[in-house]
Amino acid sequence: MSGPRLSESALGGLPADVVQPGYNRTTVKAGVVHLGIGAFHRAHQADVFDQLIRAGDPRWGIRGASLRSPDVAEQMNPQDGLYSVVVRDGSSEQVRIIGAVQDVLVAPQDPAALVEALAAADTHLVTLTVTEKGYKLDPATGTLLTEDADVAADLGGLDRPKTAPGFLVAALKLRRERGLPALTAISCDNLPHNGAALSAAVLDMAARHDPALRDWIEANGAFPQTMVDRIVPATTSEDIDALAARLGVVDRAMVKTEPFTQWVVEDRFAGERPDLASAGVQLTQSVAPWEEAKLRLLNGAHSAIAYLGGLAGIDFVHQFVAREAGSRFVNRVWDEAETTLSPPPGLEVAAYRNELMARFANSSLQHRTRQIAMDGSQKLPQRLLATISARLQKGQPIDALALGVAAWMRWQEGRDEGGAAFKVDDPLADTTRSLVERGSSPTDKALALLSLSAVFPADLVGRPDFRAAVTTQAERLARLGALGAIDALLSG
């Protein structure tokens, strides 16, 4: 849709039921730089910083950055950084305009501008949503992927960084030289021990340039662990058109999301810190049990739904759980995952599961199984395989989890059960494709994929019970299809 865009000057003409920033944006400082400003950041952390500014603390404006594409800058900069968070629940819809984002930098166009933003005296926090693969860590060793071309470039010199760890190290070097405090860098990706992963990547990059800088970062920086949760489906052109009809202006940066939102942050900061608790953030010493519950219940089920649903031609998460067998299958996954958890005080698993099922059933979100299927090689370990390892160590069966893994394996063939071809969207897609092409039977294909050490830990692959469970489900999937395999599991 074309027409006038959302901007500062359009705010006065918006309908009365649209919630406006309500503060003077010119007095806001950019205390936060966000790396990877996609829809998730706009619906989650930016909403929190916006609440802090509304409540009267102007230190927490955001400068956003994209590490690759100029798309978000092109959506947001012509709108003065403004965008709508559209919260949908059944037939109700609420629109709130977020004013916290000041501008969006495109790192490859001007890397020095991003380094300067990170090194600015007003900047205290860096938040990141760069996806699992953006940390550039080797899952087997936890050190930098030195064979990655961008990592290699950053190891050669940081004049024009390319990776998130490279940008942080270049900026921290400048901060140290300028006598500024270090930073608090908060990973907001769905990685286990995300704070430790970010610090490992940054410290490794720093050490290879200057061991003294590494020590300074370790002593002065902070990399708190976090758990982030809000379902944010990709925005479609229909969503943009529908909002334009309501607002009277076009918002190309809108995000749609659910009412639920949760952010658990380890209480560990360097230097100035926002009063996150006042905006509903849970601060704790121990994030791991929250993160584990969320990754294994929400994300584990999501990935299983994505591959099984995707293979069966089910486009949306709500359609999968609307089928009786679909919701029973999800409950089976949760029954298996639940025995591996150590729920933190304040998390009641039965209530959490009920709430999760209701969130998955929210049909107004239109959350695509295809979207969740992306980057499975990066997601499988923490979402399904860690749970499987914990179950097997206790001698417990893993049938539902193994069906999820087998569905990921079948997905690597790039063809759904209706025969439609699709592109496997994954950094390891070429490798997984050549592995599945090696085997002729479902068992052979599954065993070939198990050799992928970046995904499957050696101790798990060495277990006959694991291999048997996965190959059994792979054979069933090939014979019965995804829905048939689910039925067989439920009746077994």
Residues that bind ligand CS2 (CB under 6 A): 190, 229-231, 298-299, 302, 371-372, 379
CB nearer to ligand CS2: give 205 or 305. 305
Q: How far is the CB of 429 from ligand CS2 (least distance, A)?
A: 16
Per this entry, what is the length of the chain?
492
Q: How far is the CB of 299 from ligand CS2 (least distance, A)?
A: 5
Which helix (H) or strand (E) covers residue 125, if one does? strand 125-128
In the sheet that holds 184-187, the strands lie side by side as 101-106, 62-66, 32-35, 125-128, 184-187
Q: How far is the CB of 317 from ligand CS2 (least distance, A)?
A: 9
CB nearer to ligand CS2: give 230 or 252. 230
In the sheet that holds 262-266, the strands lie side by side as 226-229, 262-266, 282-284
Give the C-alpha separation, 165 to 243, whole Å.
37
CB nearer to ligand CS2: give 167 or 263. 263
Alpha helices in 313-456 (DSSP H): 317-322, 324-338, 349-360, 369-373, 376-380, 386-393, 399-411, 429-438, 442-450
**Among candidate residues 228, 254, 226, 232, the one with its CA nearest the CA of residue 241:** 254
CB nearer to ligand CS2: give 7 or 282. 282
Q: What are phi and psi of 260, to 5 degrees?
A: -65, 140
Q: How far is the CB of 144 from ligand CS2 (least distance, A)?
A: 24
CB nearer to ligand CS2: give 175 or 256. 256
CB nearer to ligand CS2: give 20 or 299. 299
Q: How far is the CB of 435 from ligand CS2 (least distance, A)?
A: 22
Q: How far is the CB of 74 from ligand CS2 (least distance, A)?
A: 23
Q: How far is the CB of 305 from ligand CS2 (least distance, A)?
A: 9
Alpha helices in 221-343 (DSSP H): 237-247, 288-293, 300-312, 317-322, 324-338
Give the C-alpha separation, 34 to 46, whole Å.
9
CB nearer to ligand CS2: give 37 or 392. 37
Pairing of strands 226-229, 262-266: antiparallel
CB nearer to ligand CS2: give 30 or 372. 372
Give the C-alpha separation, 52 to 35, whole Å.
20
CB nearer to ligand CS2: give 232 or 392. 232
Let me know if 8 is exposed, middle or buried by CB neighbors in 10 A (0-12, 13-18, 19+): middle
**Cβ contacts of residue 153 below 8 Å, gap of 6+?**
162, 166
Look up residue 203 and give its two tokens. 């410290």
Give the C-alpha separation, 128 to 164, whole Å.
8
Asked if 423 contacts 333 with a C-beta cutoff of 8 angstroms, the reply is no
Residue nearest to ligand CS2 (CB): 302
CA 378, 382, 388, 394 torsion-angle sign: positive
> What's the DSSP call for residue 110?
-
Asked if 200 contacts 236 with a C-beta cutoff of 8 angstroms, the reply is no
Q: How far is the CB of 248 from ligand CS2 (least distance, A)?
A: 31
The interaxial angle of helices 442-450 and 399-411, nearest 10 deg, is 90
Q: How far is the CB of 430 from ligand CS2 (least distance, A)?
A: 21
Q: How far is the CB of 309 from ligand CS2 (least distance, A)?
A: 13
Q: How far is the CB of 221 from ligand CS2 (least distance, A)?
A: 26
CB nearer to ligand CS2: give 302 or 410. 302
CB nearer to ligand CS2: give 42 or 379. 379
